[in-house]
């Protein structure tokens, strides 16, 4: 599985301004709702519920919020490079500026794990993070993510 299988250039956001994690997740939910044909309130509720189990902030300024949805047929992703880093209760207690949202089908474990592993591998590499942070627009972000 490749990131381009579930992330389109239109779903890459550059310079997104939000105050905190909850606002970010609600904003992602609002933007994703029309794309995945689910109510934004349902998306936001599941994302917030997932965060109560443990932060999806994986350290180094990166978070991968994700949740499962029974009505979803294939993985859907969105990526944001935030204008200002926000508190995300990440495992290293550092603020987050790179966030990859993953909405996953509830029924296909292999596909879920494949999408999540693919994103985690990409966002764990220090050289890739440096390239993402040097990106000047959403097209450059997408190019780095899908290279």
Q: What mean pLDDT comes out for the span 102-121? A: 80
Q: How does DSSP assign 44-91, residue by residue?
A: HHHHHHHHHHS--EEETTEE--EEEETT--S-EEEEEEEEEEE----T
Considering the entire predicted model, what is its pTM? 0.94
Residue 103 sits at the vertex; the CA angle it makes with 18 and 58, to the nearest 5 degrees, is: 60
Residue-wise pLDDT tens digits, 136-146:
999 999 999 99
The pLDDT tens digits for 41-61 are 999 999 999 999 999 999 999
97 and 21 Cβ atoms separated by less than 8 Å = no
Residue 79, judged by CB atoms within 10 A of its CB (0-12, 13-18, 19+), counts as: buried
Ordered by start, the domain boundaries in the chain are 3-146
The predicted pLDDT at position 25 comes to 97
Q: What's the CATH number of domain 3-146, 3.40.50.720, 3.40.50.2000, 3.40.50.150, 3.40.930.10?
A: 3.40.930.10
Categorize the per-residue pLDDT at 111 as very low, low, confident or very high, splitting at 50, 70 and 90: low
The whole-number average pLDDT for the span 79-94 is 97
- pLDDT (tens digit, 9 = 90+) per residue, 63-74? 999 999 999 988
Looking only at the bridges linking them, the beta strands covering 66-69 and 96-105 are: parallel
Active site positions, annotated: 66
- Residue 22: pLDDT over 60: yes
Give me the pLDDT at residue 73, please.
Answer: 87
Question: What was the pLDDT predicted at 109?
Answer: 58
Nearest to 145 by CA among 127, 123, 114: 123
């Amino acid at each position: 599985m490749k990131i381009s299988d579930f992330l389109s250039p239109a779903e890459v956001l550059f310079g997104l301004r939000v105050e905190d994690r909850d606002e970010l997740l609600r904003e992602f939910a609002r933007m994703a709702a029309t794309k995945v044909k689910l109510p934004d309130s349902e998306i936001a509720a599941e994302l917030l519920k997932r965060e109560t189990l443990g932060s999806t902030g994986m350290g180094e300024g990166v978070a991968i919020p994700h949740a499962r949805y029974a009505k979803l047929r294939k993985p859907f992703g969105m990526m944001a490079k935030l204008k200002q880093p926000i508190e995300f209760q990440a495992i290293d207690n550092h603020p987050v500026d790179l966030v990859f949202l993953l909405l996953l089908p509830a029924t296909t474990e292999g596909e879920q794990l494949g999408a999540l592993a693919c994103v985690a591998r990409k966002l764990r590499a220090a050289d890739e993070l440096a390239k993402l942070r040097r990106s000047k627009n959403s097209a450059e972000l997408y190019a780095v993510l899908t290279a």
